[in-house]
Structure 1
Amino acid sequence: MSEENRLRERIALHGKSLFERGYGCGSSGNISVRLEDGILVTPTNSSMGRLDPARISRLDWQGNLLAGDKPSKEAFLHLAMYQERPEERAVVHLHATHSVAVSCLAEINPENVLPPITAYYVMRVGKLPLLPYYRPGDKALAEAVRTAAREHRAMLLANHGPVVAGKELDAAVYAAEELEETAKLFLLLRGERTRYLTPEQVGELTAHFPT
């Protein structure tokens, strides 16, 4: 099996797992991986739970379709992330319920949306900025993602959902899952006296596990 076909199979496997565990519904969410000459990205109007590896879109770096079905209308988000962060090999964008719920809250800190509740959130996600709302498919969002990507591998789109990059596909998926679970914890703990990790504990984690 070629490396590209192996990656296609892995995208479909992760998509099915995410969908079946409720991290996406309908045709929401998209996954991509970097190739030498472009990216593979899930097609538009496709369910992550029923992806056909052979029909996953292959794009060049200008966003031109080279193979597969028509790409997600949010493929430009993935391209912007890769172009700004050449070390990243995969990007996951979800419309997961708890992350989207947090993205709709009026009083959250746009510079760092979620507090350091657990060590694994700090290790896998780190600081999480909130980007302003743009309508789906608005190319202006690509520039907002590009700007945020200069300092962050994960970001939350207002009233929309998270975008998370990783040095490989598994890492990107695991970080996106950690973000969603932390958003769930954050909502469960609202109104309760909560013990977050201290700045010293966060500093120790980021020193040992830089994002």
Structure 2
Amino acid sequence: MITLYGSLHSRANRCAWMLRELDLDFRHEPTNFQDGSTRKAEFLRLNPNGRVPVLDDDGFVLFESLAINLYLAKKFGGPLGPTDLQEEALMMQWSLWVENEVEKPLLLAAANATLFAPDKRSAEERDVALAKLNRPWTVLDNLLAEQPYLTGDRFTVADLNVASVMTLGPIARIDLTAFANLDAWLMRCLDRPKATDWRSVSFSIPRPPGPLGMLSMFV
């Protein structure tokens, strides 16, 4: 039995999307960091970091959303999983890339675009974050000018992992039209029937105290 812990307004939505794409039955425990559930002893035994998501696959416990999805792709296969070692390496490459190159500046841009309360937003912080995204988004846009998906001609866990991070863009109404290939690819991914319905996602986050350079929220 597979159990997924985490509110679907958190990074757990990435794993719920993957489980649905694989047509896997799973039990959902909507653990929410905002109500203190992730700090309870029972949950900390699953993830001592006190964060969601966590996947329990019949006793095998794994945290970190993109790692969970790579594990599911490798275990259950199908078109979303790798067909050889090279494809597996590309799936890992793009998953690490989006986490290292895109997620933090995109989160900072999204927070200052719509997710912070209006009086807590900074146009300067938003613009600095968007400027940092220009290079990685250009890299992705150029690749998608040559092929429809990240590893070639089919949708895989690489696309799901990257698109699930990029979902913050349309949620925060960030304009991606300057990156036409990226924009079209993202909508292809998010319009898949099994994708988490990001259009219904509506939430805000409090502005944390101190500098925002290492902003780590939406957990």
**TM tier, smaller:** under 0.3
- Name the TM-score, length of structure 1 as normaliser: 0.26
- Name the TM-score, length of structure 2 as normaliser: 0.26
Higher helix share: 2
